[in-house]
Structure 1
Amino acid sequence: MAPSIPTPILLLVLSSALTVGQISLLPELFPNLPIRRRFFAFAGVVSSLLAIYNLFIYPPFFSPFRKFPGPKNAMPIFGHTFASFERPAGQSFLRFMNEIPNDGIIRLQGLMNRDWLLLTDPASLSEVLVHKAYDYEKPSFIRQFLRIVLGDGLIVVEGDEHKFQRKHASPAFSFRHIKDLYPLFWSKALEMKDCVAAESKGGNEIVEINQWANKATLDIIGVAAFGRDFHSLTTSDNELAKNYEEILEPTANKAAFFTAHLFLPRWVIARLPWNLNKSLKRTTGVIKRCTAQLIQDKKALMKDQSENHVDILSILLKSNDFGDDMLGQQLLTFLAAGHETTSSAFTWVMYLLASHPTIQARLRAEIHTKLPSLSSASDPTFDLASTLESLPLLNAVCLETLRLYPTVPVSLRVANKDTSIGTHFVPKGTRAYVVPWAINRAEKYWGPNATEFIPERWIDEKTGRANNTGGAVSNYNILTFLHGPRSCIGKDFAKAELKCLVAVFCGAFEIEMADPDEVPIPYGALTVKPKNGMRLRLKAVSGW
């Protein structure tokens, strides 16, 4: 089987070989032409031949995926590249899955007719995510972009380094530890509720809820990860929080900056006269300095105090598995992944409840039945975790929202060596798309109402209790947190935090869209959030 040709290396080798061969064997040709010009002339010829081969010969005649089904509307040269840039991210992939009969893999055409694979069934997904997880890694352009802010933390590293970090960070996210954090989640949800109530003035003022969710979840991850309250809900003076919010604020300039990493190496972008390079260097420098100081402060605090420290940093310090530099990079990762994702999920829950008032009313009744007052849940003797876990509709609403609006809608993997998916050979460099947005909404797995908000999917009809499948036959039918060794380490943390936020807000407010006719547009470069924010009208519920 003829392999796909690695163009840059082959171009150099063939051009050099032809130049040397011509000089040695046919010296009478081009006697007055300098060697450098001969090399570039041969390079031009070889480039043209390679382009013809890669564009018109390899894909239909030699590609190991040539018999796989795929969409027919590929653009010349660009193929289906633009499907990766559309918003909502993953929408075209969903259409391909619903419309193209396949056995688990759909073949797409990338730039210059490169083979891309869209994984569509549990067998192919389990191969890439679980059984051969370390054969498929995040593309270098995504990793080099993330490394700017996160360093070499759990999200960025690959191979043995990832195995080490995952193994030694996992105890901080055990169920036992997360159960201890429920009171923290609840207290911050109450604080956000009070701030929003003051801004809404009894429902007379419209509230943009996403910005409040960002502040609350940033405070939560500050206390849960660092043992430090940033007080983002009430002030804007914290240096770390302020700089992190500046980095994460979505702008067209930042979207262009991310896109540039698709085509140019990091060292080239860093040397461009781009103001964002300077601002990122400044903000990331401040963040890393603040993180390093927090680690030193925590070490000193743990020496001087005998109290039980339950934050993630304390647990990692006690394990003695990480040096200060690696600790800092882990905390940067948890800071980014631990607040932006949950704030987006909470914002979409608010939208769905506002759009489904009957479900909202039922959920409020369920919450009030088990939690007759906010103060009762704040009692230290009250088992808040078990109570919230026992509320079937609360869990169902959260899980259904996470299904419809996965925080990261598209995930990309690249084969780092010749490997396989089942019995199919996969050459090194092949892209494989894992698309939660498409899998979570595929009619094949979720039925004709796959795109509808139906929390009852997650409630067992016979027992009335919550289930963890949504009625799907495989856990690979929902990919919000992925699966395997690269799955989200903080998924239980995020679910617990989300349940606390939703319980407080649905219990305390009647939620309506500021504009009943508005349909929010899912947007964002890496995570899914409403393009223009989420404007709500909130009316306080009396007696709770």
Structure 2
Amino acid sequence: MALLQAVVFAGLAWLALKLVRRIIANQSSPLNNIPGPQRASTLKSFVFGDLPLFFGRYAWPFHQEIWRKYDAVVRINGFFGKSMLYVYDPKALHHIVVKDQYIYEETSVFLKFSALQSGCVWRRPVGELGHKQQRKILNPVFHTNHMRHMVPTFYRITHQLRNALANQVKDGQKETDILNWMTRTALELVGQGGLGHSFDKLDRDELNPFAENVKDLIPTFAPLFLFMQFLPLVLRAGTAGFRRKILELIPSKRIRRCMEIVDDMDRVSRSILAQKKALLAQGDAAMEHQVGEGKDIMSVLLKANLQAIKEDKMGDEELLGHMSSLIFAAMETTSGALARILQQLSEHQGVQDKLREEIKQARGDKEQIEYDELMALPYLEAVCRETLRLYSPATQMTRVATKDIVLPFSTPIRGTDGTMVSEIAVPKGTGICVGILASNVNKAIWGPDADQWRPDRWLEPLPESVTEARIPGVYSNLMTFLGGGRACIGFKFSQLEMKIVLSVLLETFRFTPADKDVYWNFSGVQFPTIGKDGRRAKMPMRVELVGK
């Protein structure tokens, strides 16, 4: 207890010093000329700023108001009155994620997890050199040629899912938690295709404890995001074990649950890595007889890492970080995207029928649709693009300016002083929020129907406003997978997963909405619950065999 009191005292002293510095800096900040929500009027709003409204699971109204009221660069009130920028102007985004990407460094919420466990999960490279070294090793395993090797594995897993669902609805339509099935499937896809490890046989309707843990991570951790900002000394001081001891002294069930989840992911990652390294030491023959036949991402990565020159090699902690990131990011975002697509198809039966017919014609009398033909199916691509545009799983991403820099805009905005502003001097230490979803639904770019789900827009010529905007995303003029050197390296992997799952399921099943109020929580990664106050991620849907 004395240790906790000492940490609390040190934290309060740190906050007091930072508060004085912040008040002085904010009085002359150039960001004051950027329009944004009104500044704090109460002590609570001064301490937390707009962040509870901005990052919370119920953030939809706040964001929609910002999109309606302000331009594409907005000043947001952060902790203790410090200003941060919310950005979805295309030129500004280009500078943040491409041109000056190594000045705008990551401040991912996942870096906070290092305080929750005794190991080291999600260790990320910092700076240009670190990222380029890792991308040099990682790029080949996410190349299109390597994705083709994944196709048989992905089909085999999806056929297991189809058989399990068919058995469940063989006697007629049945309501099922489609998110649970998509979560388990996405975990098995990334398990076999990414890690060469099987998590789930998908042979019965049951919960997968590990998948449930990973799925619970965002709902459990999201409310702690603001709390973690008040533990700067805990997050930075001492070893991971020391930080863990401090957090264990805090009487919070939520923190303990987070530690349980992260510990489980760390345990599983370490176990898989040890098995992979042991098989690798036995030679290629041993690798070929494991799950994934040695063609999974981690097997290829380990081989490439052994052959890399000394300065490019990744240690075990970095490899573990990639494994945990792959498990979480690939499972959480892909399962959410698949659930969203199926939800939209259930609510638009005409689109579902049209897509089902395209898939049936493409497969014909073949056992499966091959990679190139599957990826080229126009209506399947349109449905996926439109869902990833309007319902991007990741809503935003945070960065911090590591030095003073000027940020230019595509379109000048009117400053609070009445002048037109075409660029802003961004002070070192300024937080930047990249508006992924905001860019995707920006009516100035996508037109007045930007907030409508309309797959046919991708079968028509895109408006000049889209093509001329030069949005710096790596995928279809969208920011869904970000852009630049830190773009989602596995976006082709995710696309292949989604298209194979959809192509197999839609030929066999019809999906219709369940009589439940499904609410999609905003958060950093969107997730559905039954009603706004639902505590568990869940999305029920009615499923039946086609023709029944």
Structure 2 contact 178–540 (Cα < 8 Å) conserved: yes
In structure 2, which of residues 247, 257, 266 is the aligned counterpart of residue 269 of structure 1?
247
Residue aligning to 1:30: none
Q: Match of 1:187, as an amino acid?
A: R
Write the distance in 2 (CA, Å) between the matches of 1:492 and 1:341. Answer: 13
Residue 133 of structure 1 aligns to a residue whose secondary structure is: coil
Q: Establish whether residue 93 from structure 1 lines up as the match of residue 83 from structure 2.
A: no
Which position in structure 2 is the counterpart of 1:453? Answer: 453
Task: Give 1:255 deviation, angstroms.
Answer: 3.9
After TM superposition, give the deviation of residue 90 of structure 1 in Å: 5.8
Partner of 1:453, secondary structure, is coil
Per the alignment, residue 228 of structure 1 pairs with: 197
Match of 2:270 in 1: 289
CA drift of 1:401 comes to 0.8
Q: Write the letter of the residue equivalent to 1:114.
A: K
Q: What residue is the counterpart of 2:132 in the other structure? A: 163
Judge conservation of contact 1:97–1:438 (CA < 8 Å) in 2: yes
1:331 to 301, 323, 326: 323
Distance (Å, rounded) in 1 between the aligned partners of 2:108 and 2:343: 35
Alpha-carbon contact 2:442-2:450 (below 8 Å) kept = yes
* Distance across 2 between alignment mates of 1:355 and 1:491: 26
How far is the alpha carbon of 1:470 from its aligned partner?
7.7
Name the residue aligned to 1:298.
279
Amino acid at match of 2:390: L
TM-score in terms of structure 1 length: 0.79
Distance 2:466 2:346 in 1: 22
Maintained 8 Å contact 1:210/1:343: yes
Paired residues of 2:161 and 2:185 also in contact (CA < 8 A): yes
- CA deviation after TM superposition for structure 1 residue 237, in Å: 11
Deviation at 1:494, TM superposition (A): 0.4
- The answer to whether the 8 A contact 1:88-1:522 is kept is no
Q: Secondary structure at the match of 2:229?
A: helix
Contact kept, 8 Å, 1:173 with 1:490, in 2: the verdict is yes
Q: Number of aligned pairs?
A: 482
% identical aligned pairs: 27
Asked if structure 2 preserves the Cα contact closer than 8 Å seen for 1:98 and 1:444, the reply is no
| 1:390-409 map, 5 Å | 390-409=376-395
What is the CA deviation profile of residues 7-37 of structure 1, one whole-angstrom value per residue up to 9, with x for unaligned ones?
A: xxxxx9xxxxxxxxxxxxxxxxxxxxxxxxx
Residue 384 to residue 200, structure 1, CA distance change in 2 (3 Å): same
Residue matched to 1:434: 434
TM-score, normalization by structure 2: 0.79
SS at match of 2:30: coil
2:36 corresponds to which residue? 70
Q: Look up the match of 1:311.
A: 296
- Distance in 2, matches of 1:431 and 1:93, equals 17
Query: What amino acid is aligned across from residue 105 of structure 1 in structure 2?
Result: V
Q: Any idea what SS the aligned residue of 1:507 has?
A: helix
Q: Which residue of 1 aligns with 2:4?
A: none
Aligned counterparts of 1:251 and 1:298: Cα–Cα separation in 2: 33
* 2:540 is the counterpart of 1:535: yes
CA RMSD of aligned residues (A): 3.4
CA distance 1:327–1:253, change in 2 (3 Å):
closer
**Residues in 1 aligned to 2:219 and 2:354: alpha-carbon distance in whole angstroms:** 40
Conservation of the 8 A alpha-carbon contact between 1:396 and 1:459: yes
Deviation at 1:47, TM superposition (A): 5.9
Question: Do the aligned partners of 1:90 and 1:410 also contact (CA within 8 Å) in 2?
Answer: no
| Whole-angstrom distance in 1 between the partners of 2:204 and 2:250 | 35
* Equivalent residue number for residue 115 of structure 1: 83
Distance 1:431 1:211, change over 3 A: same
- CA distance in structure 1 between the aligned counterparts of 2:262 and 2:65, rounded to whole angstroms: 40
1:33 aligns with: none
Q: Which amino acid aligns with 1:263?
A: F
Whole-angstrom distance in 1 between the partners of 2:350 and 2:263: 48
Question: Rg: which structure is higher?
Answer: 1
Query: Is the partner of 2:125 in helix, strand or coil?
Result: coil
Contact 1:125/1:434 (8 A) holds in 2:
yes
CA distance in 2, matches of 1:151, 1:408: 26
**Partner of residue 50 from structure 2, selected from 58, 63, 80:** 80
Alpha-carbon offset, residue 336 of structure 1? 1.5
Closer, same or farther: CA 362–54 of 1 in aligned 2, 3 Å? same
Kindly provide the amino acid, as one letter, of the partner of residue 49 in structure 2: G
Whether the 8 Å CA contact 1:94–1:441 is kept in 2: the answer is no
Contact 2:395 2:523 (8 Å CA) reproduced: no
Structure 2 residue matching 1:408: 3-state secondary structure: coil
The residue matched to 1:365 in structure 2 has which SS? helix
- Pair 1:110–1:318, CA change in 2 (3 A): same
Cα distance in 2 between the residues matched to 1:150 and 1:233? 32
2:404 to 413, 418, 423: 418
C-alpha offsets along residues 200-231 of structure 1, whole Å, 9 cap, x if unaligned?
A: 33443211111011111111111112222223
Q: How does 1:39-54 map to 2 (within 5 A)?
A: 54=22
Query: 2-side partners of 1:47 and 1:296: how far apart?
Result: 49
| Code of the aligned partner of 2:296 | D
**Alpha-carbon shift at residue 346 of structure 1 (Å):** 0.2
Instruction: Name the amino acid aligned to 2:392.
Output: P
Aligned runs of 1:189-204 on 2, under 5 Å? Answer: 189-204=158-173
Quick one: which amino acid aligns to residue 498 of structure 2? L
Q: Which shifted more, 123-132 or 412-421? A: 412-421
CA distance in 1, matches of 2:53, 2:348: 31
Classify 1:129/1:202 alpha carbon distance in 2 versus 1 (closer, same or farther; 3 Å): farther
Partner of 1:186: 155
Rate the CA distance shift 1:87–1:243 in 2: closer, same or farther, 3 A. closer
Say if 1:94 and 1:437, in contact at 8 Å, map to a contact too.
Answer: no
C-alpha distance in 2, partners of 1:355/1:236? Answer: 24
Pick closer, same or farther for the CA change 1:165–1:63 going to 2, 3 Å: same
CA contact (8 A) 1:218 1:335 kept: yes
Q: CA offsets, 1:303-359, max 9 Å, x none? A: 434857311122112212434443333222212212221111000001000111111
Kindly tell me: are residues 171 and 236 of structure 1, through their superposed partners in 2, closer, same or farther at Cα, counting changes over 3 Å? farther
Letter in 1 for 2:526: V
Higher RCO, Cα 8 Å, sep 6+: 2
Contact 1:236–1:242, Cα closer than 8 Å, also in 2: no
5+ unaligned residues in a row in structure 1: which ranges?
A: 1-11, 13-39
Report the alpha carbon displacement of residue 288 of structure 1 after superposing the two structures with TM: 3.8
Tell me which of 124, 133, 139 is aligned to 2:92. 124
Question: Would the aligned equivalents of 2:355 and 2:379 in 1 still touch at CA under 8 Å?
Answer: yes
